[in-house]
Amino acid sequence: MPTIKDADWVLKDIQEVEDEAMKVIRNSTEHNLVLAGPGAGKTELLAQKACFLIETAKCRNKKIIALSFKKDAAKNLQERVNSRLESKYRHKFESTTFDAFCKSIVDRFKSSLPAFYCPSDDYEIFFPNNKDFIAEIKREAVGFEGLTSAELNKLKPSKFEENYLVVPYREETRHTVNGRIRYFVWTHLLKGKSRLSFKMINYLANRIIKKNVFLSNAINSTYEYAFIDEFQDTTSKQYEIFKNIFFGKSIKITAVGDTKQRIMGWAGALPNAFDVFKKDFEVGDHNELVSNRRSLKNLISYQRLMESFMNKTENKTEIIFYKGEGLARLMQFEEVDQEASYIASLIKKWIDEGIEQRDICILSKSVAGQYSQKTISELDMSGVKCRIENEYQELLNEAIVQLVLQLLMFVCNRKSIEGWASTMDLLCNIRGVSRKGDVTRLERELSNFIKANKEIRSDVVDYLKGLLSIFGISELKSYFPQYMNGNGLEHNINTLSKYLEELDIKNNMSNAIDMLNGIKTVPFMTIHKSKGLEFRKVVIVGLEPDAYFGDEEGQIENQKTVFVGFSRAIDEVFMTRCKLRMDNFGNMSRQDFNRIPLITDMLTYCGIEAEDYQG
């Protein structure tokens, strides 16, 4: 494809964008800071900008890197760009997560770390904020440089990673109890076959970036542009890495986000990431996208009112509501049995009216049993499948899992043109064969391989590894940098095989694949996991103080959390609260809604008053 002149370039697969978006798309010489609300088309904006920069040769012989904080966001953006570019140009755009990017740096340059911090080649990823790991530390650290059981018994899973892993060991703190615990924990995790959490990986990556001039120059010579999605959720540690990578470089940055959707303060998100970025990178004016291409008119009006309330706007805008243009309700129940029964009947009604299960989503601040179990059980009795999506979301967005599921689809004779083409592209790249070269032979080889693997004659995990053998496990690890070091590939295959065994893949492979993918299943997830997603119908469960607790700062973030959940909906939102609900300790807890005034007052401000359930 010849280079397109700027004036001749047109949008890909869409008719128009708002003027501010077009300014961002065509800006190739300066940093961009973009504020974009729900449904404003952040992903589409970045996809169009990538196409413009690549097709008009602004990247020259370099690439664009896009960093997201969620795997599904990174995957969606990559797919959006791939669908709009010719295949020979797709290599110029890399969409990955911040964690995966840091991991690739550690995997390639860990030998430059001081010996104390250098992990083993076969390190594994682990998640430290759990009771088993804390028990392990309490047990193993007794006597280490004088640490006592009494000192160690004060350790709690909550905030353990932030206190002892994100904050690294320093020699000058070794005389303190916390300093000795940090020293032990890092030593304990790095010895033998190392264990690293992603926050440890981020810290190690930052050490490498600050010390390694070669890496800094390599990044600058590889990338011409960088996109940062959901910038409002950047933590101070992540921003430090981000700044160390890009500050003072020629790379032009486009940072996109929305202050109203900053709901990761509990995870350390900067309260003023946009202001810090503007100052450090000398960005003048920001661009703001105001359109909402997701929700119907009435839901957009509710969102505008919520924004006015959160911004403490003096003059309330009068809103006109239109029949058939979106509905929002809040219903109050005495207890969860009533709530679950009503939600189940409502969702069954939607499905009977023709709404697909995947177009409905149940959201809550937490998916703990007191918010999810009764509703899932009631739906099951109504013949509607529902599952907690959080545990599947991460796995299904893994590149190696997507590849295995694609191969299984071929085995089931469910071959799509797009799926076959992408698999052939991967096979050609790994084998070093041009698509114009000996493709026919490779296609025949893949077809014969699929035919030879129609039955599972061994353990499921061995069968899945056998399917990948046509590519080569070591070759796949080299191709996908996130699996280059550590046990990530094996861990994901083992987890996938466990799920597929539970779904009886040996007797009905096609059904097992559909069930794993959540086909004909209503998703239940946390509001935090729903960011970037959209559904026709949204149910938000448990707008209550036991879920939305916190100090003044926490209550402001809780308000934004409700806003994020509400703005996932295209045409209807149904919210619930119960006067009585079990707490985390199994005790019945009476809910005092006056303890969450920022949420209740915001809904009242929008004209959404609680309706009492009339059973």
Q: Tokens representing 207?
A: 């050490």
Into how many domains does the chain fold? 4
Residue 313 has pLDDT above 90, yes or no: no
Question: Has 523 been labeled as part of a binding site?
Answer: no
pLDDT given at position 592: 96
Quick one: pLDDT band at residue 182, thresholds 50, 70, 90? Answer: very high
Question: Quick count: other Cβ atoms within 10 Å of Cβ 377?
Answer: 13
pLDDT at 562: 97
pLDDT score at 264: 63
- CA gap 232, 269 in Å, rounded: 7
Q: Which helix (H) or strand (E) holds 246?
A: helix 236-246
Does residue 589 sit within a domain?
yes
Residue 39 known to bind ligand:
yes
More confident residue, 23 or 263: 23
Digit-coded pLDDT (tens) for 314-357: 778 788 889 999 999 999 999 999 999 999 999 999 999 999 99
Distance CA 196, CA 177 (A): 22
Check whether residue 355 and residue 373 sit in a common domain.
Answer: yes
pLDDT for residue 2 is more than 80: no
d(CA 264, CA 351): 33
Over residues 495-511, mean pLDDT: 95
Q: What is the mean pLDDT of residues 118-128?
A: 89
Nearest partner of 558 among 567, 566, 549, judged by Cα:
549
Nearest C-alpha neighbor of 47 from the set 14, 79, 21, 80? 80
Q: How far apart are CA 402 and CA 419, in angstroms?
A: 10
- 563 within domain boundaries: yes
Long-range contacts: 80-88, Cβ < 8 Å, 24+?
80/43, 80/44, 80/47, 81/47, 81/50, 81/51, 83/13, 84/12, 84/13, 84/47, 84/48, 84/51, 85/50, 85/51, 85/54, 85/55, 86/1, 87/425, 87/435, 88/1
Look at strands 521-526 and 385-388 and give their pairing.
parallel
In 534-594, which ranges are E strands? 535-541, 569-578, 580-582, 588-590
> pLDDT band at residue 126, thresholds of 50, 70 and 90?
confident
Residue 1 has pLDDT above 70, yes or no: no
- The CA-based diameter of the chain, rounded to the nearest angstrom, is 72
Same-domain pairing of 32 and 163: no
Please indicate if the annotation marks 38 as binding a ligand. yes
When mean pLDDT is compared over 150-154, 425-429, 539-543, the highest value belongs to 539-543
Q: Are 562 and 504 found together in one domain?
A: no
* Among 481, 516, 551, residue at a domain's last position: 516
Eight-state DSSP code of residue 133: H
For residue 254, give the H/E element and its range: strand 252-257
* 115 annotated to bind ligand: no
Q: Mean pLDDT score of the chain, rounded to an integer?
A: 92
Residue 436's pLDDT is 63
CATH code of 279's domain: 3.40.50.300
* Signed CA dihedral, 113, 114, 117, 121: sign only: positive
Query: Distance of CA 146 to CAs 116, 128, 172, 573, Å?
Result: 21, 23, 17, 57
Cα distances (angstroms) measured from residue 57 to each of 2, 146, 275: 9, 62, 31
Question: Could you report the per-residue pLDDT of 346-371, keeping only the tens digit for each?
Answer: 999 999 999 999 999 999 999 888 99
The residue segments making up the domain with residue 141 are: 127-196
pTM: 0.85
Is 316 labelled a binding residue? no
- Residues 188 and 247 both lie in one domain: no
In a domain, 120, yes or no: no
Q: What is the structure's pLDDT at 318?
A: 80
**pLDDT score, position 518:** 94
Q: What is the pLDDT of residue 367?
A: 86
- Residue 258 pLDDT exceeds 80: yes
SS3 13: coil
* Residue 51, domain member (yes or no): yes
41 is in an annotated binding site: yes
Point out the least confidently predicted range of 366-375, 480-489, 502-511: 480-489
Residues 228 and 301 both lie in one domain:
no
- What is the per-residue pLDDT across 400-457, written as a single tens digit (0 to 9) for each? 999 999 999 999 999 888 889 889 989 988 988 776 667 788 899 999 999 999 999 8
Residue 263 confidence (pLDDT): 61
Q: In this structure, is residue 213 part of a structural domain?
A: yes
| H or E element that contains 603 | helix 597-605
Quick: pLDDT tens for 551-591. Answer: 888 899 999 999 999 999 999 999 999 999 999 888 999 99
Considering 516, 542, 568, which residue would you say is the last residue of a domain? 516
Do 398 and 511 lie in one domain? The reply is yes
On the question of pLDDT at 18 being above 90, the answer is yes
In terms of domains, do 213 and 71 share one?
yes
- 441 and 482 in a single domain? The answer is yes
Closest CA to 492 of 105, 66, 100, 120: 100
- The DSSP symbol for 524 reads E
Judge whether 14 lies within some domain: yes
Assess whether pLDDT exceeds 90 at residue 95: yes
Q: Does the pLDDT value for residue 609 go beyond 70? A: yes
For the chain, percent of residues with pLDDT exceeding 70: 98
Do 296 and 570 contact (CB within 8 A), yes or no?
yes
| Residue that terminates a domain, selected from 224, 259, 289 | 289
Higher pLDDT, 602 or 285: 602
Tell me the chain's radius of gyration from C-alpha atoms. 26
Are 90 and 214 in a shared domain?
Answer: yes
Please give the share of the chain, as a percent, with pLDDT higher than 90. 74
36 belongs to a structural domain: yes
